[in-house]
Structure 1
Amino acid sequence: MVQCYKFTFLIKKGAIILNGWVIYNGHLAAEAFLQFPKQIKKTGSEKNIEINVVANNHLCYQATKNGVYLKHAEGWELPSFVIFHDKDIALARQLELLDIPVYNNAQSIEICDNKVLMYQHLAKKNVNIPKTVIAPKIFSNTTTIELESFLTLAKEFSYPFIMKEGYGSFGEQVYLIHNEEEYIARIKAIYDKPFVLQEFVDSSYGRDIRIFVVGDKVVAGLKRSSDIDFRANVYLGSKVEGYHASPAEKELAVAAAKAVGATYCGVDLLIGKNGEPIICEVNTNAHVANILKHTGVNVAEPILDHIITQL
């Protein structure tokens, strides 16, 4: 056994066998959240890569005067790499401080977990996004909200427009605002959370495209549509089918992944008035069940192939 930094490579018959972890959130143990880790583990075994599925709450990560440490309840040795299917950014950083390669890395997870940061990074790279205005921070328990400043921000748009909380999943923290009354009510409800105002792309009402990117390649696509909601999230009841992305859609999706520093991700595209793709969101923890079901693509394979080339 050869020690490399603070993780290990196993040597067997002259070949290097990688020892990896795939980390998930131990308090989200529903099958939908476990499918990706299980897919990674199964595909790893087919590639002669030992993969352990590890819950974040089964790890003890410490910061002491002697340095940073990581212990596992079962005493496993530290891995040669980690595939991080969670948003426990502190744990991802702890692994990186131990010189363990983490995919996706802590910074890209943090950027995509907070939509405010995500849109800032996408805009920095001139990626095509809807016009977005970032709301100013207000602390909790503020007794008086200066609504006039928010009404001024709203003048950047015409009704209806979108409000998005910085943190949220499955479309549940995304709101279509039809008038000033709805706008003020929503501000009062979420004022102490990070959020953005955003142009509403009405040509994409109830429709979007999910593109899965690994490295600098598109490996799969889905088309999602809803007859009952402006959002096309699967968890809100949309219909799903396999989709072959156009060259323009592929180029934009890869550019978005690079803008947030993701090794792999799901990129959601809106459809502009002239059919042009527009970035909706980038998700570093995208679920993969529908990709496998509707396209037959096992995204674990290109993910592991890409990691092997990186290592």
Structure 2
Amino acid sequence: MKLTGWLIYNGGMATEKFIDLHNWYVKTAKTLQIELKPIANNQLFSQIENGQFKLEPQLAKPDFILYLDKDIHLANQLERLGMPIFNSAQTIAVCDNKITMHQQLAGAGLPQPLTIFAPMLFAQIKKPKSTFLDHVEQSLSYPLIVKEAYGSFGEQVYLIHNRTELDAIATKLIHRPHLFQEYIQSSYGRDMRLHVVGGQVVASMERVSSHDFRANVTNGAKMFATEPNDRFIELAIAASQAVGADFSGVDLLFDQNNEPIICEVNSNAHIKTIYQATSIDVSQFIFKHILAKLKGHSI
């Protein structure tokens, strides 16, 4: 029996790059007898009517939703209306906020860089307390990393070398959620991306940059297929499970002993770059996992 699905994407990201990605998923779904329909988040209107959840326009419910957006409120609404979503609204929310993500990983006792969360301050406060920045400085030393809680593609991540830079970035971000993090010198411009689907690592690549502390391909890093050892595989799976992901891209750093340490977990990791590096089509694994979950058993 043919199944139907929606692919939810952000209406503000309807660029050629993302349209090609959506078409890729549609094509893969078709090979598995799934009719997948891309729908922008701003084409669906969430509302509460007479105390009940409602969605306009009133379309026929799909068998499942592949949710490639970060519109958490819409995701929650769809789940409340009984539609199975992959990944879940909770998982997307956890991964979208780096502070929440690190707390979730810590709850599972998983290795991460030393991380300090900036306090939330209201608008009348214009500068961070010097005692807090003293603590950051003493705990992390220089250089150190500052990350905004919300950001993608390595953006909103800053390498800080001294107190002047620290004061400036902390003041700039004072009203935005952000964190301060230990700089892993041994992993400068280098990390490993492992795609985890249904509790299995299905594809892995190493990313290396010769000119940037970040190893994002968007920033010019080179990528190549790699065979991670058991420690990297086990940590990637544990990290994905800790955030409740059906599928994820887990970024691991290399500590001074070449052991893995978690950088972050991506609930909507792109599949094109991993395909370019490995010739592995992760979308096949994602849909097969979804089909297995819909049938009530794991992949």
Q: What's the TM-score bracket when you normalise by the shorter of the two chains?
A: over 0.9
RMSD: 1.3
Over 3 Å counting, the alpha-carbon distance change for 1:35 and 1:249 in structure 2 is farther
Tell me the residue number matched to 1:52.
Answer: 37
Q: Secondary structure at the match of 1:140?
A: coil
Measured in 2, the distance between the counterparts of 1:249 and 1:35 equals 31
Does residue 195 (structure 1) correspond to residue 178 (structure 2)? The answer is yes
Over 3 Å counting, the alpha-carbon distance change for 1:192 and 1:66 in structure 2 is closer
Pairwise CA distance, 1:228: 0.8
Is the Cα–Cα contact under 8 Å of residues 35 and 288 in structure 1 kept in the other structure? no
Is the Cα–Cα contact under 8 Å of residues 213 and 264 in structure 1 kept in the other structure? yes
Measured in 1, the distance between the counterparts of 2:129 and 2:256 equals 35
Q: Secondary structure at the match of 1:155?
A: helix
1:252-307 deviations in whole A, cap 9, x for unaligned?
10100011111111110101111101110111111111111221111111111111
Measured in 2, the distance between the counterparts of 1:176 and 1:238 equals 17
Q: Secondary structure at the match of 1:232?
A: coil
Does residue 233 (structure 1) correspond to residue 216 (structure 2)? The answer is yes
Select the residue among 285, 289, 292 that pairs with 2:275: 292
Tell me the residue number matched to 2:297.
Answer: none
Does residue 117 (structure 1) correspond to residue 100 (structure 2)? The answer is yes
Q: Secondary structure at the match of 1:152?
A: helix
Does residue 28 (structure 1) correspond to residue 13 (structure 2)? The answer is yes
Select the residue among 156, 167, 181 that pairs with 1:184: 167
Does residue 211 (structure 1) correspond to residue 189 (structure 2)? The answer is no
2:130 partner amino acid: L
Does residue 39 (structure 1) correspond to residue 49 (structure 2)? The answer is no
Does residue 65 (structure 1) correspond to residue 50 (structure 2)? The answer is yes
Tell me the residue number matched to 2:227.
Answer: 244
Pairwise CA distance, 1:111: 0.6
Pairwise CA distance, 1:144: 4.8
Pairwise CA distance, 1:145: 3.5
1:28 partner amino acid: M
Q: Secondary structure at the match of 1:303?
A: helix
Tell me the residue number matched to 1:308.
Answer: 291
1:127-181 deviations in whole A, cap 9, x for unaligned?
1111111111112342454222222233211211111110111111111111111
Is the Cα–Cα contact under 8 Å of residues 84 and 104 in structure 1 kept in the other structure? yes
1:59-110 deviations in whole A, cap 9, x for unaligned?
12211224111124xx641211101000000110011000111000011101
Pairwise CA distance, 1:226: 0.7
Does residue 259 (structure 1) correspond to residue 227 (structure 2)? The answer is no
Structure 1 unaligned spans of 5+: 1-15
Over 3 Å counting, the alpha-carbon distance change for 1:53 and 1:21 in structure 2 is same
2:122 partner amino acid: F
Is the Cα–Cα contact under 8 Å of residues 217 and 254 in structure 1 kept in the other structure? yes
TM-score, reference length from structure 1: 0.91
Structure 2 unaligned spans of 5+: 295-299
Tell me the residue number matched to 2:153.
Answer: 170
1:154 partner amino acid: E
Is the Cα–Cα contact under 8 Å of residues 24 and 34 in structure 1 kept in the other structure? no
Is the Cα–Cα contact under 8 Å of residues 192 and 252 in structure 2 kept in the other structure? yes
Moved more, 232-241 or 111-120: 232-241
Measured in 2, the distance between the counterparts of 1:49 and 1:157 equals 50
Is the Cα–Cα contact under 8 Å of residues 232 and 238 in structure 1 kept in the other structure? yes
Measured in 2, the distance between the counterparts of 1:255 and 1:157 equals 26
2:73 partner amino acid: A
Measured in 1, the distance between the counterparts of 2:111 and 2:186 equals 15
Select the residue among 83, 87, 94 that pairs with 1:100: 83
Does residue 220 (structure 1) correspond to residue 207 (structure 2)? The answer is no
TM-score, reference length from structure 2: 0.95
Task: Name the % identity.
Answer: 44
